[in-house]
Amino acid sequence: MYQPKPWLTLSPDAPIDLQMHTTNSDGSWTPEELVDYLAKEQFALAAITDHERVDTAAQVQRYAATRGVHILIAAEMSTHWHGQLADLLCYGFDPAHNTLGELAQRVRNREIQDAQNFLAVLQQQGYRFTKQQEVLENHGGQPKKCWRYPRIAAAT
């Protein structure tokens, strides 16, 4: 069961970052690399707000605890506000018991389908794309070295 951390008091000059991304989303570092960086640089608090990745929040927080890094459970969710696409930052939820998980999965599925449709249109126009597995094999199995946008990678 999720247990919120006791109140955390930070000094006014404590280094914090409340919106960071990993390769689970559109970041450049794996979760472990980012947490290791946060530990090395002695961040007092961070929130990894991977897009629609409620499912990875607890795992990242557990790893961070082994490195002495305080991670605020968070995710960045895509939504619409007044007819415009918007990002909503969600903080401090229980990663195992919330309604964000199902919503995040639906959004990811829709984005993958949209990317597949977009790629199909481009292919009909004569463009060719390397399959994700081929790209991974050519880059040592590391998605961060070959794909900037994981939704496109998942669509191929």
The per-residue pLDDT for 63 is: 95
- Asked whether 46 and 38 are in contact (CB, 8 A), the reply is yes
Residue 46: the pLDDT is: 96
| Cα–Cα dist 81/27, whole Å | 25
Closest to 5 (Cα-Cα) out of 58, 54, 59, 72: 72
CB 64 within 8 A of CB 94: no
Check residue 106 and give its pLDDT: 87
Distances (CA, A) of 55 to 66, 108, 128: 19, 12, 32
Q: What superfamily does domain 16-93+100-155 belong to in CATH?
A: Metal-dependent hydrolases (3.20.20.140)
Residue 74 φ then ψ, to 5°: -160, 165
What is the per-residue pLDDT for 110? 86
Alpha helices in 2-56 (DSSP H): 31-40
Query: Residue 75 and residue 40: Cα distance in Å, rounded?
Result: 23
Does this model's pTM top 0.85? My answer is no
pLDDT (tens place) for every residue of the chain, 156 residues total: 556 566 778 889 999 999 999 988 889 899 999 999 999 999 999 999 999 888 888 899 899 999 999 999 999 998 889 999 899 999 998 888 888 888 888 888 888 888 888 888 888 998 877 676 676 676 666 555 444 455 555 555
